[in-house]
Structure 1
Amino acid sequence: MARTKIDYGIDLGTTNSAISRMENGEPTIKKLPQKDTMASCVAFNKKGILVGDKAYAAYRSEKEAALSKKTENNAFIEFKRTMGTDKKYFSPHFGSELSSEELSAEILKNLKSFITDENFSSIVITVPAAFKTNQIDATRRAGKLAGFDHVEVLQEPVAASMAYGLESNKKDGFWLVFDFGGGTFDAALLKVEEGIMKVLDTEGDNYLGGKNLDFAIVDEILLPHIKENFSIDNILNNEDTKTQYREALKSFAEELKNELSFKDTYNLYKEDRCGIDDDGEEIEIDITVSQSEIEKALAPIFQKSIDISQKLLARKNINGSNLESLILVGGPTFSPVLRKMLEAQICKPDTSADPMTVVSKGAALYASTVDVSEEVKEQTRDKTKIQLEIANESSTVETEEFVPIKILADKTEGEIPEKVFAEVTRSDKAWSSGKVEINTIGDVVEIQLNEGKTNIFEVVLFDDKGNTLESEPSSFSVIQGISGIGSMQTLPYNFGIEIKQKSTGKIVFSQVKGLEKNKSFPVVGIRNGLKTQNQIRPGMDSDFIKIPLYQGEHASDGTRAIYNEHVYDVIITGNDLPALLPENSEVELTVNINKSQEIDVQVYFPYLDHTSEIKVDKDKVQSVETSWLANEIRKAKGSVVELKQDGNSDNTKLQKIEVELEQLEKSFENNKNDVDGKQEVLTNLRKSLKSIDELSETTEWPKLEEALKEEFYRLEEANRDLGNGKTTQVVNQFRSQLEEVIKTKDVKIGNVLLEEISMFFFKLTEIYQFIGMIKGFNENFEDYSWNDSNRARQLVNNGIRNISENPDKEELRQILISLYDMIPDTERPSDDGGLVTG
């Protein structure tokens, strides 16, 4: 029978991956003999492709061989960290370049091949909670390339908490999921009340994981040991050979890391294939490493993950002592170094769940609650059977539930008896509903649930003579003991747009209401109050409005847009509009994000009563130019120098930023040729730049005070000429607010007030712009090829008369619209398009 729920979940990991399936109500790992997971590695040889552990063996051999001779790369790992980027992996054996999603698709195909007893085309694939939109899109593309028709994504910490929650007897309190994987780190804080789970907040780092631990061992233990015994300056002074040598030593570092997860000391001895030093001598590695030495190398990396977790807890005013459970996920969490640090700084971890399989199992659990797509249903539907719609809850904390069941006559090709009865029986045979008559309208069956497990129910149909009838589906399941599965995934970032502040001229990130971090999917965001900077002429591709969409971290509203993650540019040109859209027209933005984090946008123009529908591109990839990034680091360091010269008093913060920039520069030097490494540097640089901006605000007040006074006096003068009682009341309110801001010297509130004063001035003087346009047409009338010159002349004269008597803004607006309709597109005056203002 075709499955009506997805039922399959894949943990697509950086270093290891796994697939699980729901079997008899239990999430079950489908595995290789003696092994729950397989290596996330792809290799090519002259005969074909290797995937998994055999590929990883080839990878290790290739890298170790590279220590002593120049080799070609035909084996690849950790491509999850470059998902959504322009990184390409070239294999001479394959004869072509592959993207990260193409390599990931090979992992997915191999996992799919573990299932030999049925065909399936729907899957849930897990992603880090901190994955950006382009990385999620790339994951979905990998699923499609692997042959899946229906791909849903699920955040990894959410998957882990589902599997843990079903098996744990802890049904209340705060849980912290600590997910330290091979390439990424996520922390998720959940609140659980009587089994109902809700994600309160998440925090993470897409470039913090086991890879960082391995390179820390290379840089802090292996390279110093080799430098002490051999001459390798020529290797390290060349960027290409240094990168290759560090990568080659990484497999030795991984061996050390894994062995010291279970031992107090470990001797790493490699007598050959370790390379040739500058003097032509064969390099040999013979080093015994203790727990204290490995701790010294790894602790700074682990500390970053703990700092992220503590930041998350502090944001919600929660201490480690308040946690009911600290759930470990990912291979590196086996490290005794990490577990000791967690116990000392947060609380003792709960080790009841297997860190290596809990995500895959949770993905299968979630998959058992998600319907396969209508497209897949139609492909697999057996219409000779009576088709049913069973609208059961997928999970619940109740022991009784009502389940509506109805016949889908339009989906059934076989004969449907006049009377049809359904009997629902729990799989343990301890409960049955008895026969209940159903029809195309439907009826409700009350079911009884066993506690703390997945309950499977069989549905059998009968005619009025007691004969059984074939139906589809013929079973359903309900998870008892946890609830809220459908709404557990939350928006991992604040979602906003880039706007130009009229008051300051700054290009900033502006939050879209409804798309705040931690909102449960699906979400809808609305942003009103936007204005066009220039007129948009119909049919003119050169006239455009641009609304860039961004993802921002916590407290990102008002920060410089470039310090956040760009998602997509919504661009609407004159070709998309039915008529002239004047300068300063209102724009209303609606952004929809579904539970699989797919985005679509509507832009409404009240002046035209027109809506533009935009589907956000799902094929965007990121690129970080090496020279640009080097320059950005230099500029950041220069900003710190300027802050010192301006007499910034917060020396502690300045020193912290200086240390951060020094570390970033060192990391950049080690990763100039590594897309993954440069992405990591950029992510952390943005955080430092935000801190620099915050400090800059303390030296900004004198300039802001002058701008506020100048803008307010300009508004007062305009109000004397054009205002009325209502506008005077508003101006007086602004005067009171200005006096208060000057007293407190609050830069943020001051900038908001400056923007509000500027916007009100613009609105008050809008009629001046219409007057200027009418006069322009009058003075240059003969320069235009009017399609009705007499009518145009009449309209311009009416406009001039309106101006001379008692200017009316709406009358002038209508005159201008009519005039624009009478000019050829090529002759219509235009300014460059640009950002909306707000």
Structure 2
Amino acid sequence: MVQVKMKYGIDLGTTNSAICRMENGDPCIKKTDTLKDTLSSCVSFTKKKVIKVGDSAYNDLRQDKSRATKKWSRQNENVFIEFKRTMGLDTPYETSNMGCSFSSEDLSSEVLKALKSFVSDDSINAAVITIPAKFKADQIAATKRSAILAGIEHCELLQEPIAASMAYGLSSARKDGVWLVFDFGGGTFDAALLKVEDGIMQVKDTEGDNYLGGKNLDYAIVDEIIIPYLQENYVIDKILADDAKKQILRDAMKFYAEQAKNQLSFKPHCDITSQLDEFGEDDEGAELELDIVVTQQQIKEVVAPVFQKAINICKDLLKRNNIQGGDLDSLILVGGPTYSPVLREMLKEQITSNVDTSVDPMTAVAKGAALYASGIDSEVTEKISFGTVALGLSYESSSVEVVEFVSVKLLPDECTGRLSSKVFVELIRNDRGWSSGKIEINEIGDVVECQLMEGKTNVFTIIAYDDKGTSIPCFPNEVNIMQGIVVGNAVLPYNIGIEVHDRSLNRDIFIPLKGVEKNQPIPAIGVRNGLKTPRQLRPGMSADNMVIPIYQGEYNVEGTSAIYNDHVFNVSINGDDVPALIPADSDLDIILKVDRSQQMIMEVTFPIIGETVEKVIEVAQRSTGVDIYDLQNRLDEAKQKLISLQSSPAIKESETIEVQNMLNDITGRFDGEKDSDDGKMHLLADLRRAFLKIEGVEKEHEWDSIEAELRTEFDRLEKANSDLGSKYDNQVEELRRQTDVVICQKDVQVGRQVLADINSLFITVTLIYQLVGFVRHYSQNFRQYAWKDANRARQLLNQGMEMVNNNPMVETLHPLVCAVIDVIDMPENEKPEF
């Protein structure tokens, strides 16, 4: 079994996919069964239980969606597209013809199988598959599982804009400068900023939106052009009032919206005309039909706001890297929607005039993936035929030098048949302009200095000879080296960190791990020391549990509430994992290893016993149980927080305008997205971003809030002490002095401590009222709490209520309250503390 380089790159797209193979040093797109460069990422299930993928499936899509309007029911759907938008979710795609449901990764695997079938002369078991730059951990894991289902045993994942930049860099004469890849696909948008020096490309930063793409353009056309036309000509009020029927109508009209969008990329106007008897009836029984003329100006008004979101993402990306649009040497367009003249004009007006259309937007990603694959050793080895000499090769697959070194050695254990007493090899460049001559090799090997042609892919054929000078078969028999371009490692699109309990704040926060921050080249290793165990871990006791939640976060998220970041996985360590006792509050060190495909392994070290526990992060499908009412409540909560910020005299309007715009956008999209799984995830992702922005504004004015609270709480304390006999005048005066000092110093940490001391003294001053309030609250809300011993708790609270009703004393009521606290079943913190 001999190690070989990978040679296949696959663009697994939302609406279209492609496969590319390295042939004689060049990336060659393999044509589909309809002789196209791309395959529609559409899967259809027939009544005979045949699975169709590609154009034939897409032809079924229109009929499948229009048929649903006949009975206004989805029960007989059998054609699916854009399932990439739900990768990582457990969304079921129910098909009546098959009598079962499929997941997004099941459907994606069918697309991969179809792509593999276009290569008849090879068995594909290793490939580079591209993913959006902003794919989350669960989406990445789902893509890996899809590859395994399709028989791709070794799957490397590569971010789409990086793949596109490789294809561009190989063909472009530009070998220096700053590039921005603008990748607007069918379902996702990515932007990547690259710095290129002497042909060496390094990704500096990435940004994007997993729920922004051609699908959003299509539905915008449906909602703002097609449905208004239907409202003018038909009675569809009841259909639109029913969320399920409205979505069926939108899905049926999407085909025509996409058709208009594509045609108007090249024509000034187009006709949208449906077939007879294609759709169901309106509220009054009239058959729905389409007959509309749409102009480029109409489309521009509808799609420009969608494109603007992508452009704004690019503006933010450039701004945080201190780059002006005029500093860009190339803005590289990738993805079908980038053919739009509307988008191209907007980019030239708002970003840069250096918009580059030299690469094929539809195939650049697949070609770049194949180029990337050619530099990776495949984990899937190949068995060589009888009588073939096995060679071990080592070399850099890309270079900016004119000479590159190739190490060649003999692998006698892998050779079959009788091996010659001496073996020679010769490397011949395919243009016949250079040859190494015959070089004798053995198990130790030799190094060959290969002369490269500049700005090209250099292919060297390897010829082996026996001791008599007769050529003999060898494997591998080819070396490919790209000259003029070197691509640095892909980078992490997010900060990776963990949720810990911050003792000083008394809340759970997100802390990044050092070494796996956003834009860190991968593979990478993250470290966090100085943490503490929240409880003891006794060997063999599975009930002794510590949980380390892993999260992904954006920029400037250290110290934010972890729930506003994206949860990846809970690493659980219990007594079964440790060989000796680990007391509570013991030191804890964490190492997280991230490979090229962003797969993770965590090592947790307990210095007190000198042991390390290793956990593989196996990310499963995420539940689609995002509740609409929960989303609405979160939106309402965000709006209330915004109102609170806006009402503060210390906060300027300019500080909240971005949050206001975000919430307006979410509100405007809410009804259109709340009934689909990817729509709900889109809303949830944007709500999290809004909350993080709100927290950011609050943090900027943290001292203002603490100062206001200090003044309010001290006044409350002073009044309570005066009203209740002035027993604590000395302590109150001391706290007055401390409050005045900290307000002058504006020290947040000391301010928190003084505030805690004020609250503590207030409880002491008003202790009898605190105790009475405690008893009344728990007595009236008894069923809302979990109790270790409910009968004992009820008995104690009944006794307490008797005391409350008979002028209680602190000396008698305080012990009873302590006894009640002892039987409250309070969950212990299981997260690491710091």
On whether the aligned pair clears a TM of 0.5, the verdict is yes
Q: Which residue of 2 aligns with 1:143?
A: 147
Q: Is the 8 A contact 1:243 1:671 kept in 2?
A: no
Q: Which residue of 1 aligns with 2:524?
A: 523
Three-state SS of the structure 1 residue aligned to 2:636 is helix
1:454 to 443, 454, 457: 457
Q: Is the 8 A contact 1:648 1:695 kept in 2?
A: no
* C-alpha separation in 1, matches of 2:418 and 2:545: 58
Look up the equivalent residue of 2:138 and give its one-letter code. N
1:84 to 81, 84, 88: 88
Q: Is the 8 A contact 1:382 1:472 kept in 2?
A: no
Change (3 A) 1:117 1:653: same
Q: Which residue of 1 aligns with 2:652?
A: 650
Q: Which residue of 2 aligns with 1:511?
A: 512
TM-aligned CA deviation for residue 502 of structure 1: 0.9
Look up the equivalent residue of 2:830 and give its one-letter code. G
Look up the equivalent residue of 2:541 and give its one-letter code. M
Q: Which residue of 2 aligns with 1:676?
A: 678
Change (3 A) 1:500 1:751: farther
* C-alpha separation in 2, matches of 1:748 and 1:188: 39
- Per the normalisation by structure 1, the TM-score is 0.84
Change (3 A) 1:527 1:705: farther
2:370 to 345, 348, 364: 364
Change (3 A) 1:647 1:543: farther
TM-aligned CA deviation for residue 3 of structure 1: 8.2
Three-state SS of the structure 1 residue aligned to 2:356 is coil
> CA-to-partner distance for each residue in 1:56-114, whole Å, 9 max, x for gaps?
11011111233344452100000001000111100000111100000000001011000
Look up the equivalent residue of 1:686 and give its one-letter code. R
Are 1:329 and 2:304 an aligned pair? no
* C-alpha separation in 1, matches of 2:372 and 2:664: 43
Three-state SS of the structure 2 residue aligned to 1:602 is strand
> CA-to-partner distance for each residue in 1:760-816, whole Å, 9 max, x for gaps?
xxxxxxxxxxxxxxxxxxxxxxxxxxxxxxxxxxxxxxxxxxxxxxxxxxxxxxxxx
Change (3 A) 1:312 1:538: same
Q: Is the 8 A contact 2:19 2:30 kept in 1?
A: yes
Taking the TM superposition and a 5 Å limit, the aligned residue runs for 1:623-772 are 623=624, 624-647=626-649, 649-697=651-699, 700-701=702-703, 704=706, 745=746
How many aligned positions are there?
Answer: 733
* C-alpha separation in 2, matches of 1:432 and 1:545: 62
Look up the equivalent residue of 2:537 and give its one-letter code. I
Are 1:411 and 2:417 an aligned pair? no
Q: Is the 8 A contact 2:645 2:651 kept in 1?
A: no
2:390 to 378, 387, 391: 387
Taking the TM superposition and a 5 Å limit, the aligned residue runs for 1:274-423 are 274-348=279-353, 349-373=355-379, 376-377=380-381, 380-382=383-385, 384-423=387-426
Change (3 A) 1:701 1:457: same
Three-state SS of the structure 2 residue aligned to 1:214 is helix
TM-aligned CA deviation for residue 440 of structure 1: 1.1
Q: Which residue of 1 aligns with 2:159?
A: 155
Change (3 A) 1:325 1:702: closer
Structure 1 range deviating more: 264-273 or 7-16: 264-273
* C-alpha separation in 1, matches of 2:747 and 2:393: 58
Change (3 A) 1:668 1:305: same
Change (3 A) 1:344 1:500: same
Change (3 A) 1:601 1:95: same
Change (3 A) 1:240 1:529: same
Q: Is the 8 A contact 2:3 2:392 kept in 1?
A: no
Change (3 A) 1:412 1:751: farther
TM-aligned CA deviation for residue 525 of structure 1: 0.8
TM-aligned CA deviation for residue 9 of structure 1: 0.9
* C-alpha separation in 1, matches of 2:570 and 2:253: 42
* C-alpha separation in 2, matches of 1:599 and 1:179: 27
Change (3 A) 1:383 1:631: farther
Q: Which residue of 2 aligns with 1:835?
A: 831
* C-alpha separation in 2, matches of 1:338 and 1:747: 47
TM-aligned CA deviation for residue 508 of structure 1: 1.1
> CA-to-partner distance for each residue in 1:223-255, whole Å, 9 max, x for gaps?
112112222110011111111111111111111
Look up the equivalent residue of 1:387 and give its one-letter code. A
Three-state SS of the structure 2 residue aligned to 1:533 is coil
Q: Is the 8 A contact 2:72 2:248 kept in 1?
A: no
Look up the equivalent residue of 1:559 and give its one-letter code. T
Three-state SS of the structure 2 residue aligned to 1:697 is helix
* C-alpha separation in 2, matches of 1:386 and 1:87: 50
* C-alpha separation in 1, matches of 2:467 and 2:218: 69
TM-aligned CA deviation for residue 603 of structure 1: 0.4
Look up the equivalent residue of 1:356 and give its one-letter code. M
Change (3 A) 1:754 1:583: farther
> CA-to-partner distance for each residue in 1:15-65, whole Å, 9 max, x for gaps?
011111111111011013442111100011112111101101101111123
1:473 to 476, 480, 486: 476
TM-aligned CA deviation for residue 567 of structure 1: 0.9
TM-aligned CA deviation for residue 421 of structure 1: 2.1
Q: Is the 8 A contact 2:568 2:619 kept in 1?
A: no
TM-aligned CA deviation for residue 271 of structure 1: 6.0
Q: Which residue of 1 aligns with 2:435?
A: 432
1:256 to 242, 251, 260: 260
Three-state SS of the structure 1 residue aligned to 2:29 is strand
TM-aligned CA deviation for residue 294 of structure 1: 0.8
Q: Which residue of 2 aligns with 1:45?
A: 46
Taking the TM superposition and a 5 Å limit, the aligned residue runs for 1:97-112 are 97-112=101-116
Look up the equivalent residue of 2:640 and give its one-letter code. G
Q: Which residue of 2 aligns with 1:13?
A: 13
Q: Which residue of 1 aligns with 2:565?
A: 564
Q: Is the 8 A contact 1:534 1:831 kept in 2?
A: no
1:61 to 58, 63, 67: 63
Change (3 A) 1:2 1:407: closer
Change (3 A) 1:739 1:414: farther
TM-aligned CA deviation for residue 647 of structure 1: 4.5
Change (3 A) 1:129 1:750: farther
Change (3 A) 1:626 1:195: same
* C-alpha separation in 2, matches of 1:662 and 1:493: 26
* C-alpha separation in 2, matches of 1:604 and 1:740: 43
Structure 1 range deviating more: 283-292 or 440-449: 283-292
Three-state SS of the structure 2 residue aligned to 1:432 is coil
* C-alpha separation in 1, matches of 2:691 and 2:650: 16
Q: Which residue of 2 aligns with 1:821?
A: none
Three-state SS of the structure 2 residue aligned to 1:203 is strand
Q: Which residue of 2 aligns with 1:73?
A: 77
Q: Is the 8 A contact 2:182 2:332 kept in 1?
A: yes
Three-state SS of the structure 1 residue aligned to 2:193 is strand
Are 1:218 and 2:256 an aligned pair? no
* C-alpha separation in 2, matches of 1:9 and 1:181: 17
* C-alpha separation in 1, matches of 2:210 and 2:450: 44
Q: Is the 8 A contact 1:697 1:747 kept in 2?
A: no
* C-alpha separation in 1, matches of 2:473 and 2:546: 57
* C-alpha separation in 1, matches of 2:231 and 2:655: 36
Q: How large is the Cα RMSD of the aligned pairs?
A: 2.6
Change (3 A) 1:502 1:754: farther
Change (3 A) 1:702 1:355: closer
Q: Is the 8 A contact 2:128 2:156 kept in 1?
A: yes
* C-alpha separation in 2, matches of 1:593 and 1:152: 13
TM-aligned CA deviation for residue 296 of structure 1: 0.9
* C-alpha separation in 2, matches of 1:268 and 1:707: 62
Look up the equivalent residue of 1:421 and give its one-letter code. F
Q: Is the 8 A contact 2:260 2:272 kept in 1?
A: yes
Three-state SS of the structure 2 residue aligned to 1:292 is helix
Structure 1 range deviating more: 540-549 or 105-114: 540-549
TM-aligned CA deviation for residue 384 of structure 1: 4.7
Report % sequence identity: 49
Look up the equivalent residue of 1:245 and give its one-letter code. L
Three-state SS of the structure 1 residue aligned to 2:598 is coil
Q: Which residue of 2 aligns with 1:820?
A: none
Look up the equivalent residue of 1:326 and give its one-letter code. L
Q: Which residue of 1 aligns with 2:130?
A: 126
